[in-house]
Chains A and B, each alone.
Chain A
Amino acid sequence: MKSALNGKTMAGLAIMGFFVLIAIVGSWLAPYDPSAMSSDIMEPPSGAHWFGTTQTGQDIFSQVMVGTRGVLIVGLVAGAIATALSVLIGVTAGFLGGVADEFLSALSNIFLVVPALPLIIIVTSFLPDAGDFLIAFVISATGWAWGARILRAQTLSLRQRDYVEAARATGERTWRLIVFEVMPNLTAIIASSFVGTVIFAVLSVITLSFIGVASVSNWNWGTILFWAQNAQALAQGAWWWFIPAGLCIALLGTALALINFGIDEYMNPRLRTSIGGKVKMRVGFTPVLRQEGGRS
């Protein structure tokens, strides 16, 4: 795995680590209670309020700090559950083949095609009290199919490799085959599907909070945007109310995408953007770089 830790992955992991840190210590470091109102109403960023204040005088910096935890909990929990589901379903389908495979593949394809966000919105709004974990569960119930599909394809091709066939011929049990022969070769794909699901879950939970389906008293970045939108922050020119939360979302999303690029490039080295060296490579026209004497 050493070469998977290229520049992109490192940058992604660094940003991700930063947010995880804030998620853990954010509520202690936050200078104010995110819900506490004050007389500093709609103030632009200042020394006292780094990200400014809301219409009711709440400190936005504290809201962003405290809100990080909810976003990450939902993202990571949903990512973990969905990945577990996709491993279970995808690997089983790919390994068993036959009718079981047909059925499980059809199931994942259905979940892929049905638009997830509207479904999540409806399910969540039917639930009387949608807390973080419940939302994470709903998101993972709709977000496992993509990973399952890729894992199934990969398992299918692994199953036919010689060493698996050999192990099968020696009469090893199916679960041992899956755990010891197949799974280790799926690590990179599982990692990438986990990261992909976390992106999906983060965007979903923020969206749910933004449209007010999730409980709006739980602080997360989406909730901040919900209140900003409700208070017509845009029309009042209170840019500081919605810029920080949005940038945090984009930054977290970029970090996760970078981690995934790193994994992709590790699996398929051709995708690397920089080839290195000073000569321009061009498909179909191999460059000529004469080292001594002549010139190209």
Chain B
Amino acid sequence: MRFLLRRALFYLVTAWAAITINFLLPRMLPGDPVQAMIARFQGRLSTDAIASLYVLFGLDTQTSMFSQYVTYWGNLFKGDLGLSFTYFPTPVSEVISQSLPWTLSLMGVTTVISFVLGTMIGVYAGWRRGSWIDSLLPIATFFSAIPYFWLGLIAISVFAVTWGAFPAAGGYEPGLIPGFDWEFISSALYYAVLPALTVIISSIAGWILGMRNMMVTVSSEDYVTVAHAKGLPERRVMLGYAARNAVLPSISGFALSLGFIVGGTLLVEMVFSYPGIGYVLFTGVNAKDYPLMQGIFLIITLAVLLANLIADVVYLLLDPRTRKA
């Protein structure tokens, strides 16, 4: 339990750091985002909106940095992330809550599939070192070096434009009303195939390579030799002794890979105009919609921290050594 408490404390500190960075960014960096925005909206902003913008970015010189910080936290706890300018006057929190489910389901499903599949292939490749699977490693390396979004572009041009088997953009059939009915869900699944495949193919190589190397390392541990000496079936040695131990660093390394996968998935959403957070971020970036970008960064960070906490719990369940009282 102490392990989990320590981790939870660490994530709280990290969340605080991310929120504080978010607070400081517009206040520390040069340039005047509000002026840029006023220019962009050419008089369509009310004086109230302009004033609230200055408050949001801490450019109103009347209040001290500290009281701005307190106000910022107060707003956060109320779920107030400011107003979006691309979707003016919709609050940022509302824009995010509409797109978040898309991203979470796309990213959740693809990450799990890619982790499980990649780990399984890696287990086998590491166990049968020197077999034909090793010849796939250079190909895996090549795929892991391709940016996610470029693979997405290729997928669109092959499967959507040339072949026409899958839609090139969007999250569901235009005209359908989102809801929990079969027509909508099947359409959403159909639209998700290409983005999901893109993410899986781009990210799986990393898991394969990492797991293979761990398997090779673990295979020479004494307890694996003992398992062989005991005359256990090979499957049992491979899974129960070697893979069972080799997967532990993979899970604790999950945290490090997650940030990268998130970045890649956001890009894939942009390419596919998938109605998730990545696409919203893309529109926000193009429109210099700072409140929206900042809100998205915050939500993504919190989601990643939560995923990390889950990975820690899984680790705790898998490694008895961390369960020490």
The answer, yes or no, to whether B10 is at the interface (CB within 8 Å) is yes
B33, B145, B161, most chain A CB atoms within 10 A: B145
The answer, yes or no, to whether B141 is at the interface (CB within 8 Å) is yes
Q: Are B150 and A249 in contact (CB under 8 A)?
A: yes
Q: Are A268 and B217 in contact (CB under 8 A)?
A: yes
| Chain B residues with a Cβ closer than 8 Å to the other chain, count | 73
- How near does chain B come to A146, taking the closest CB pair, in angstroms? 7
Query: Which residues 211-245 in B have Cβ within 8 Å of A in the complex?
Result: 213, 216-217, 219-220, 224-225, 228, 234, 237
- How near does chain B come to A142, taking the closest CB pair, in angstroms? 9
User: Given known contacts A246-B146, A250-B145, A284-B237, is B263 in contact with A115 (CB within 8 Å)?
Assistant: yes
Contacting residue for B26 out of A126, A211, A235, A282, CB 8 A: A126
Contact indicator per residue, chain B 245-273, by CB within 8 Å of chain A (1) or not (0): 00000000001101110111011001100
Query: Which residues 73-121 in A have Cβ within 8 Å of B in the complex?
Result: 106, 109-110, 112-119, 121
Contacts of B304 in A (CB 8 A): 113-115
User: Given known contacts A225-B150, A246-B153, A254-B145, is B255 in contact with A113 (CB within 8 Å)?
Assistant: yes
Query: Which residues 142-158 in B have Cβ within 8 Å of A in the complex?
Result: 142, 144-147, 149-150, 153-154, 156-157
- How near does chain B come to A253, taking the closest CB pair, in angstroms? 3
Q: Are B220 and A211 in contact (CB under 8 A)?
A: no
Give the CA-CA distance A270 to B81 in the complex, in Å: 51
| Chain A residues with a Cβ closer than 8 Å to the other chain, count | 59
- How near does chain B come to A292, taking the closest CB pair, in angstroms? 26
Give the CA-CA distance A70 to B228 in the complex, in Å: 54
User: Given known contacts A117-B262, A126-B25, is B147 in contact with A206 (CB within 8 Å)?
Assistant: yes
The answer, yes or no, to whether B281 is at the interface (CB within 8 Å) is yes
Contacts of A242 in B (CB 8 A): 150, 153, 157
- How near does chain A come to B157, taking the closest CB pair, in angstroms? 5
The answer, yes or no, to whether B204 is at the interface (CB within 8 Å) is no
Q: Are B225 and A284 in contact (CB under 8 A)?
A: yes
Contacting residue for B127 out of A207, A249, A283, CB 8 A: A283
Give the CA-CA distance A126 to B141 in the complex, in Å: 34
Interface of chain A: mostly helix, strand, loop or mixed: helix
Give the CA-CA distance A207 to B265 in the complex, in Å: 12
User: Given known contacts A122-B297, A246-B153, is B263 in contact with A199 (CB within 8 Å)?
Assistant: no
Contact indicator per residue, chain A 279-295, by CB within 8 Å of chain B (1) or not (0): 01111110000000000
Query: Which residues 212-263 in A have Cβ within 8 Å of B in the complex?
Result: 212-213, 225, 229, 234-235, 237, 239, 242-243, 246, 249-254, 256-258, 261
Give the CA-CA distance A112 to B254 in the complex, in Å: 11
Give the CA-CA distance A277 to B21 in the complex, in Å: 56
Contacting residue for A250 out of B129, B146, B217, CB 8 A: B146
Q: Are A229 and B153 in contact (CB under 8 A)?
A: yes
Q: Are B267 and A211 in contact (CB under 8 A)?
A: yes
Contacting residue for A235 out of B17, B150, B161, CB 8 A: B161
- How near does chain A come to B227, taking the closest CB pair, in angstroms? 8
- How near does chain A come to B308, taking the closest CB pair, in angstroms? 6
The answer, yes or no, to whether A48 is at the interface (CB within 8 Å) is no
The answer, yes or no, to whether A154 is at the interface (CB within 8 Å) is no
The answer, yes or no, to whether A273 is at the interface (CB within 8 Å) is yes
Interface of chain B: mostly helix, strand, loop or mixed: helix
The answer, yes or no, to whether A153 is at the interface (CB within 8 Å) is no
Q: Are B149 and A210 in contact (CB under 8 A)?
A: yes
The answer, yes or no, to whether B316 is at the interface (CB within 8 Å) is no
User: Given known contacts A113-B14, A117-B263, A207-B147, is B294 in contact with A122 (CB within 8 Å)?
Assistant: yes
Q: Are A112 and B255 in contact (CB under 8 A)?
A: yes
The answer, yes or no, to whether A125 is at the interface (CB within 8 Å) is yes
The answer, yes or no, to whether B92 is at the interface (CB within 8 Å) is no
Stretch at the interface among B59-67, B93-101, B282-290: B282-290
The answer, yes or no, to whether B296 is at the interface (CB within 8 Å) is yes
Give the CA-CA distance A184 to B33 in the complex, in Å: 47
Contacting residue for A283 out of B21, B228, B297, CB 8 A: B228
User: Given known contacts A128-B30, A274-B130, is B255 in contact with A121 (CB within 8 Å)?
Assistant: no
The answer, yes or no, to whether A271 is at the interface (CB within 8 Å) is yes
The answer, yes or no, to whether B194 is at the interface (CB within 8 Å) is no
Of all chain A residues, which has the CB nearest B156? Answer: A234
The answer, yes or no, to whether A275 is at the interface (CB within 8 Å) is yes
The answer, yes or no, to whether A264 is at the interface (CB within 8 Å) is yes
Contacts of B263 in A (CB 8 A): 115-118, 207
The answer, yes or no, to whether B179 is at the interface (CB within 8 Å) is no
The answer, yes or no, to whether A183 is at the interface (CB within 8 Å) is no
Contacts of A257 in B (CB 8 A): 141, 144-145
- How near does chain B come to A269, taking the closest CB pair, in angstroms? 10
Contacting residue for B301 out of A114, A213, A250, A282, CB 8 A: A114
A115, A246, A275, most chain B CB atoms within 10 A: A115
Query: Which residues 36-72 in B have Cβ within 8 Å of A in the complex?
Result: none
Contacts of A211 in B (CB 8 A): 267, 270, 282, 285-286
Contact indicator per residue, chain A 118-134, by CB within 8 Å of chain B (1) or not (0): 11011101111000000
Q: List 22 A-B contacts (CB under 8 A).
A: A106-B10, A112-B256, A115-B262, A115-B304, A121-B281, A125-B290, A126-B290, A199-B145, A203-B147, A207-B263, A234-B157, A235-B168, A237-B161, A246-B146, A249-B150, A250-B146, A257-B145, A258-B141, A270-B217, A271-B217, A273-B134, A283-B219
